[in-house]
């Protein structure tokens, strides 16, 4: 009898990772769950309880791995530092890059796994030219944006069984199997912040320095309480005694100023991006038909790429609203994720 392939499934206590384990076991793999202990706020008791019940029901072992110090350094400290610099970070991408598909992958392989599986809605495709990352077929749930930092080494070990399915189907299957996670809520945006407001979290961790709120001509309109409390595109909470409707158009860390302007000043037809990662392992040569997303929920738009000192200059066919330094821009060719980088300006 052929030896069964072992798969470590990254399990959070939610329906997606639970069904990932169930589908792979049904497909004949030898499955075990790995749960990352990341921070007290990240691992609520009801999640752990549901997770343990799910593994018991599926009759698979569960291993809990402590990555708290690494998560603090690579995700939470990075998150706070970026805000202090007037940038808006994406902690999910940092977690995928440094924790899930580096530390966890290495640990799973050392534990004897042949593959690591996650509940992301995306697909991996192998060919003679290497591995490609593709969007998930459920366009409302596609999570390929968060995986642009992956490369050939990670993709060869990665299984994403939900990429060919829709979320409604996954919830229905979980219900039929009687999984405790079948009705679990959707995961929140920043998993280590319990309510959606990041500001109290930031103010407890980094010193804030007040400064001027100015218009694009440099005229002082008011005072801000610290750059970390603002983000590009923000309108609420500026507390300006003006009739005009102002939006944050820039956070200037060098002068500690929040720059505001009218809504039309949020539109831009180009950006520069650095810290690039190309999934194929090499930079793009001239290629047509590239699209890009400047944030997870933004629509894809056609772009042209030009190399520059910091990485690439991206020109959009249609101006984009509130391009935000620190966020990721991800490039696509049809369903294939080409790679991406961090927006610099």
Give the catalytic positions in this structure.
95, 191
Query: What is the distance between the alpha carbons of residues 81 and 87, in angstroms, rounded to a whole number?
Result: 9
Query: What is the distance between the alpha carbons of residues 166 and 267, in angstroms, rounded to a whole number?
Result: 34
| Contact partners, residue 129, CB within 8 Å, separation at least 6 | 280
Helices (H), the chain: 15-26, 45-58, 68-71, 77-84, 91-95, 105-110, 152-155, 167-177, 199-203
Nearest 5°: the CA angle 48, 50, 55 is: 95
Backbone angles phi, psi at 30, to 5 degrees: -85, 110
Q: DSSP state, 114?
A: S
Please count the other Cβ atoms lying within 10 Å of the Cβ belonging to residue 143.
Answer: 21
Query: What is the distance between the alpha carbons of residues 192 and 257, in angstroms, rounded to a whole number?
Result: 28
Query: What is the distance between the alpha carbons of residues 234 and 228, in angstroms, rounded to a whole number?
Result: 12
Rg (CA), the chain: 22
Which residue(s) pair with 311 in the sheet?
Answer: 308
Q: DSSP state, 64?
A: E
Please count the other Cβ atoms lying within 10 Å of the Cβ belonging to residue 218.
Answer: 10
Which residue(s) pair with 222 in the sheet?
Answer: 213
Which residue(s) pair with 340 in the sheet?
Answer: 277, 330
């Amino acid at each position: 009898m052929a030896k069964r392939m072992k798969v470590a499934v990254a399990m959070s206590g939610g329906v997606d990772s639970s069904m990932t384990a169930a589908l792979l076991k049904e497909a004949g793999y030898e499955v075990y769950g790995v749960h990352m202990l990341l921070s007290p706020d990240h691992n609520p008791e009801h999640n752990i309880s549901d997770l343990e019940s799910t593994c018991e029901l599926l009759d698979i072992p569960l291993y809990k791995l402590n990555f708290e110090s690494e998560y603090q350094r690579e995700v939470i400290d990075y998150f706070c530092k970026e805000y202090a610099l007037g940038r808006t970070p994406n902690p999910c991408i940092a977690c995928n890059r440094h924790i899930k598909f580096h530390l966890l992958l290495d640990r799973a392989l050392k534990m004897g796994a042949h593959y690591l599986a996650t509940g992301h809605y995306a697909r991996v495709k192998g060919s003679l030219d290497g591995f490609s990352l593709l969007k998930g077929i459920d366009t409302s749930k596609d999570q390929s944006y968060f995986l642009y930092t992956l490369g050939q080494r990670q993709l060869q070990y990665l299984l994403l069984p939900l990429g060919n399915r829709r979320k409604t189907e996954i919830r229905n299957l979980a219900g039929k199997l009687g999984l405790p996670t079948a009705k679990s809520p959707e995961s929140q945006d920043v998993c280590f912040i319990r309510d959606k407001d990041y500001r109290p979290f930031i103010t407890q961790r980094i010193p804030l320095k007040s400064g001027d709120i100015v218009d694009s001509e440099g005229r002082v309109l008011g005072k801000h309480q610290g750059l970390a409390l603002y983000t590009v595109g923000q309108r609420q909470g500026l507390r300006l005694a003006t009739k005009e409707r102002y939006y944050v158009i820039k956070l200037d860390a060098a002068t500690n100023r929040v720059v505001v302007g009218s809504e039309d000043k949020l539109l831009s037809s180009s950006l520069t991006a650095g810290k690039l990662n190309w999934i194929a392992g090499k930079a793009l040569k001239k290629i047509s038909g590239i699209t890009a997303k400047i944030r997870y929920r933004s629509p894809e738009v056609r772009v042209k790429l030009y190399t520059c000192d910091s990485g690439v200059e991206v020109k959009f066919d249609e101006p984009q609203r509130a391009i935000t330094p620190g966020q990721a821009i991800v490039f696509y060719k049809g369903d294939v994720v080409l790679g991406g980088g961090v927006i610099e300006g």
